Structure 1
């Protein structure tokens, strides 16, 4: 069956969010009196949601109550500062224009807070993407397939006509857990070797290369 639906990860795939994530994380760490983290450390920490980001960033052995406070500070700061430096990767807008012109159904699924996912989607991609699903009490975070299934339900799409695009091993596992093929992208937060080892079905280096995959399947 020909693909009709493309589901994207957000951070590291559609948007370069790393600087804003680092700034909010380091603000929270500073407030708690903890050492701050480098951009490369933050790059390795992200991908499994905000709580896991904080767990990885705070000193080993940090009490749960302290971690919860740090997460609360981070979440409040990021909600107010998540568009300071964040921007689409080169070529993404051109890709989305092509996909819209070809009448593909598009969605975003992310391990970011649902409110942040929806706000960032509206700010950067409102013309192209109407369905954006983030982490919430109602949807288990990736690599559980729940967010993917929720997006497909909202789009009215079937598994066999949907393909998933992401930049990390978490995304590959998410796609496969949902029964989808995964296109790994190398411009994000993880390198080609991680995507290969995770079992990505395809790997691309530039956004427009996705069109050839869609055309050939």
Structure 2
């Protein structure tokens, strides 16, 4: 098996973009539209990463029927699509690192359980010309931690799992990387802390974006 990396698969929320405030506002807007109590940023931090339905299922009071969540999802989608850029931005140093990796010849993609329309808008706003492919939750592609999004990204990039590494901030990302057969790097500026990630089996950590450069280039097949 090739242990050299030339391709990077990035998570979005909590890894490349700090989306927490905009996600919280749209979630609370939706809850209030259905006469449900809002929640705090810290409460949401623990449930984001596995798709919006999962977030609603784990934040609404017990006993809420699935049919009500079905009605909430389009309300959330419409609000978030309109407001996903209000407070969201890249983590400090991330775009510079991505640009440097691109200049060094690495292929890059973003895969996210976020609604695909928002993923495309955010990709275009912050990462166009740097990250080649962006894939969000869409019909016909199973969301993470299934490996399907990763496989689709690798296909579009013309890359292989053997030459790729996955970078994320959550247990969902660790499971996604494992299911896709990729090694992973866990960032420590996102939605989960190091203790939790260690419990989930994380072995490589980046405390800052510059750590990513060091970890990746130590395994690089680019220009070698």
TM-score tier by shorter-chain length is over 0.9
Q: Distance in 1 between matches of 2:214 and 2:12?
A: 21
SS of structure 2 residue aligned to 1:45: coil
Partner of 1:132: 134
| 2:39 match | 37
2:24 match? 22
Does structure 2 conserve the Cα–Cα contact (< 8 Å) formed by 1:181 and 1:201?
Answer: no
| Aligned residue number for residue 80 of structure 1 | 82
Q: Please point out which of 81, 94, 97 is paired with 2:96.
A: 94
Query: Is this contact kept in 1: 2:187–2:208, CA < 8 A?
Result: yes
Matched, 1:104 2:106: yes
TM-score normalized with structure 1 length: 0.97
Matched residue, 2:12: 10
Displacement of 1:126 in angstroms is 0.3
Unpaired segments of 5 or more residues in structure 1?
none
Q: Which residue of 2 aligns with 1:185?
A: 187
Alignment of 1:157-196 (within 5 A): 157-196=159-198
SS across alignment from 2:36: coil
| 2: CA distance, partners of 1:85 / 1:127 | 22
Deviation at 1:188, TM superposition (A): 0.3
- For 1:57, which of 41, 51, 59 is the aligned residue? 59
Alpha-carbon distance, 1:130 to partner: 2.3
Rounded Cα–Cα distance in structure 1 between residues aligned with 2:14 and 2:173? 11
Deviation at 1:156, TM superposition (A): 0.4
Paired residue total: 217
Q: CA deviation at 1:37?
A: 0.4
In 1: Cα distance, 2:196 partner to 2:159 partner: 29
Structure 2: give runs of 5+ residues left out of the alignment: 220-224
Mapped to 1, the partners of 2:56 and 2:79 lie a distance apart of 13
Q: 2:56 & 2:207 partners in 1: Cα distance?
A: 30
RMSD: 0.9
